[in-house]
Structure 1
């Protein structure tokens, strides 16, 4: 069955002022929705990060797959890599352009044969996929800029341990999460240690994680690890670089997790050689799709590396793909990350299929991804993208519009 068209729709949707090690989330997230059209009219869906550079690569990749058999995904990936080849294009960028096309192809395949995507990946080994509540330090509102009024949200501020605990309680009450992750690297480590300890007191026995996104030096990472031994489930990307992570790993019993220092297959061997990483966060958007991520899980099992799943701001097409992947990976031992509660109000998929039950998302049982595109919402979000006139995500630039002397240099502490 041939692919006759690929429709790429850039979109923008609302995001709260969530803080991280390089700044703060802007009021709108940039994303792309992919519709892969087969000759019989079946449409497969994909979703990926947006921005001018990302969209340009995706458009080039989409031209390559037109006319190819929807089941020939290995050949299609090779063709995309050739088309996006050259020293100026990193393998992660080529894989990121291919990933939403592969997801859309698998969605279309599933619709053709009447089976869910997880069955195309070997079948589900779990009926529901557990997720971790994703906590952020955040402002109470997006400030008034460029003549636009301030934009508040129902979540309120979280700028100290008490605010983080209030946010966590709301996520647990609303979604039933059985573990929590705090995005750190925002305040001095002592304050973030205090927040983790406050969470441990408020939710005894709940697995906890923190991810400062390489905002700490090796020495600081080692000190934080000492203070939080016995408290953290794992510590994610505390220090910059593979060597830095290896130094921290040698000094603590807390598993170190990453989505930063291992982002393609060439990074895996040195990470294993140095025992720098004990948990890898899968991300099909970065690693080139669902099947490549499934293969990566087998490699991690061979090297004794645990698995969780990375998240960036996303909507329901990506969540459905994440769930199908996680359902088919027996080696996944940790709850997955997801930003979905922060962005679900603008979802482009029709409600009813994706839901959280006791912190887990039941695997959709319909054909393909099992979700249906809401064309009205898609049109609205595409118009929001056009009106915004933005070309890339810029957390640091946005922060500097509010705090002009903000220094994004890492490590910071």
Structure 2
């Protein structure tokens, strides 16, 4: 069996799917979505295809090594996302060739279901109570919300009070037995985080996500020491080496993105490294069905797996939804706030290829918004 064809598909709302076909007719799917940079990743996958065509798709680790280290210039989100989509597709192919789910190939199941959470509140959270009730109605027991919209450079009294009020409103709806994670989205300075975090402690957030931008990860240790709230980060870290400093700094939850951080192969290694530091895994995944399916396959074989993000109904999904590209949606059904262990081969879902090809023909590029402070200077989104 050899790789005979590699295709990419840009699909709404902001995803990039990778399709790898073999000379036997077997097909594997992966997701290389890098929001706002689809064309750059697509070009990189095309370049990697020059090496992969005609090779054995079952040599997954060897391909991973060559694609990540074969160039003199390495790393970064574009290259890592291209590798991620290819890696997922190769694992999907291997599982289908052997007629087993990927988690069986990773050592077998360590759990029967994975807890999932949903997003509420959008970029500038408001009407939190109604948004949370809607998530509870579909069976979820945990949500995540942005702490704020645009945050001032030093966090005004009203801005800080607004953060606390919104999280308090969420806690009121959720009660003591359900969870709310709070995403700072890198919008806060370290000083503002140290001011806000103690005010949230009595509301018991599930975790406090990305308190500072990833380039300021050297400040994470001070933040982790300043609060009893578990600190989470990692959606903009792309390999084990980048995770090591934040693990050493004392984060409690690692959040690699399987479409950005080297796919199934590398995230398995990140999970093992995190376990050494008693850190739980909660992969970032506001993406499509293939990214979610890949996350779940890793989760069912990973002991230190906390919870899974998923984007069904998220505010970013304009023009298409996660389940629009899946023929049978039952493997991704919520059951008492969880997704149950899939039994299908490979990633465990069947992609609607006709829908994907049609979406690619009408794709509209998505771009990250640009925010500015009141003085006209750039503001983190």
Q: How many residues align?
A: 360
In the alignment, structure 1 residue 234 sits paired with structure 2 residue 207: yes
Offset from partner CA, 1:94-143 (integer Å, 9 cap, x none): 322111111111111111111111111111112221111211336xxxxx
Of 174, 197, 202, which residue of structure 1 is paired with 2:173? 202
For residue 120 of structure 2, what is the aligned residue in structure 1?
135
Cα 1:255/1:345, change in 2 over 3 Å: closer
The structural deviation recorded for 1:91 is 4.3
For residue 327 of structure 2, what is the aligned residue in structure 1?
350
Offset from partner CA, 1:197-217 (integer Å, 9 cap, x none): 011111111222111112112
In the alignment, structure 1 residue 327 sits paired with structure 2 residue 300: yes
For residue 73 of structure 1, what is the aligned residue in structure 2?
60
Cα 1:336/1:352, change in 2 over 3 Å: closer
SS in structure 2 at match of 1:8: strand
Cα 1:220/1:60, change in 2 over 3 Å: same
For residue 17 of structure 2, what is the aligned residue in structure 1?
33
Offset from partner CA, 1:256-284 (integer Å, 9 cap, x none): 11025744222333334433x22111322
In the alignment, structure 1 residue 364 sits paired with structure 2 residue 342: yes
Which runs of structure 2 are paired with 1:42-61 in the superposition (5 Å)? Answer: 42-49=26-33, 51-61=38-48
Q: Distance in 1 between matches of 2:222 and 2:232?
A: 14
For residue 86 of structure 1, what is the aligned residue in structure 2?
72
Q: Distance in 2 between matches of 1:323 and 1:268?
A: 21
Mapped contact 1:5–1:66 kept (Cα < 8 A): yes
More moved, 108-117 vs 232-241: 232-241
Mapped contact 1:133–1:172 kept (Cα < 8 A): no
SS in structure 1 at match of 2:282: strand
Long gaps (5+) in structure 1: 14-28, 139-157
SS in structure 2 at match of 1:285: coil
Mapped contact 2:132–2:173 kept (Cα < 8 A): no
In the alignment, structure 1 residue 100 sits paired with structure 2 residue 74: no
Normalising by structure 2, report the TM-score: 0.87
Normalising by structure 1, report the TM-score: 0.81
